[in-house]
Amino acid sequence: EARRILGREKRFGISKARNKFINAQSLTPNDPQIAYYLAWLDDLNYSLKDEPGYQPYGNVEPTCQSASERYRQAITLFDKNRPTDSISQEMVVEIGHYLSNRDQAHRKAIELYNKHILTTGFDLSEPVTYMALISRGMAYFWLGEYGNAEVDFEHALAQKPSNQVAYNRGSVYAVSGVSNSFNYDRAIDWYKVAINGGKAMLSTSNYLGRAVQLSGEVELDEAWRDYGFVLLLNLKQNETSEQRIKHYEEARQKFEQAISLNKDGYLAYVGKGVAQYFEG
C-alpha cells in the first residue's frame, strides 16, 4: 500500500506512505526492505524540504545525514537477512552508491557488494549483479586500486559490452601508473570506441587478446570531455610547433562537443579554456 501511494501521489504522498511503512515495521521489525524505504524517504524529505508546495514531515527541520548513518539499520538487517531477491539486492547496490558518492566510503561499499552480491560464482547474466560489479570497479577506481578496477571492468565487458564501462576502462588507462604516451594512447582507443563504436581489445590476464564489440554512444559527454583532457596531456616529444597547435585544436574540439551535449559540465569549460590558452 505504501508503494502504491508513492506511485500514485509521488512526492505529495511521502508522509502518508511513511506512516504505512512505520505500521509495516511494527509488524515485521526485522524486514530490511522496510528499513531501507524509511531511510530513503528521510533522504527525500530532506532533499525536497525547500521545494515549493512540499510540506516536510515531522516536527523538526529535516537533516542531512551520512549514508552510513541514514542506512545503518537497513545495512544491519541485510547482514542478518541476506538479500536473495532482486529488489533487496538492488537496495544493497543503491546503499553502496550512497556510501561511495556521499560518504566517499568506497571500502565499505566494496565490502557490501562482496558480502551480499559478488559472492563465489556470481552470475553476471543477472542485471543487478552486473550493476554491482561495475559499482565495485568504480569504488576501486576512486580508491586508486586501478588493477582491481580494470579487472572488474573487463570482466563486465566480456559478459556484456557497455559503452559506459568502455569509457570507465579508458579512464583507468588515463589515470593509472606512470603517465606516458602508451597509457594515453590506450585511453584514447577506449574513448573512441565508447563514443563511435567498434572493436576493443581486453588486456587483463583472464581475457588477454579477446576483442569486444561496442555499439558506441555519441552522446556520452564525459567520454568526449576526458578524450580532450588526454589529448592535452598526450604530447609527443618529436612534435613540431604546428603539430602541437593542431593537437590543442583537436582537444578543444572534443571539449566543445562535450559542452554541446552537457552545458552544465563545468570541467569541459575548464579544458576548453586550457586548450585555447595553448592554442594562443
- Dump pLDDT digits (tens) for 140-152: 999 999 999 999 9
pTM for the whole structure: 0.92
Q: Is the pLDDT at 236 greater than 90, yes or no? A: no
**Are 71 and 98 contacting, i.e. CB atoms less than 8 angstroms apart?**
yes
Whole-number Å distance between alpha carbons of 167 and 204: 16
What is the predicted pLDDT for the residue at 237?
81
- Dump pLDDT digits (tens) for 5-14: 999 999 899 9
What is the predicted pLDDT for the residue at 55?
87
Q: Is the pLDDT at 179 greater than 80, yes or no? A: no
Q: What interhelical angle do 181-196 and 163-175 show, nearest 10? A: 170
- Dump pLDDT digits (tens) for 43-91: 999 999 999 888 898 877 888 899 999 999 999 999 999 899 999 999 9
- Mean pLDDT within 195-214: 95
Whole-number Å distance between alpha carbons of 222 and 29: 43
- Mean pLDDT within 176-187: 80
- pLDDT band, residue 93 (cuts 50/70/90): very high
- pLDDT band, residue 15 (cuts 50/70/90): very high
For residue 214, give the C-alpha cell.
561496442
**Are 227 and 252 contacting, i.e. CB atoms less than 8 angstroms apart?**
no
Residues 6+ apart with CB under 8 A from 196: 216, 218
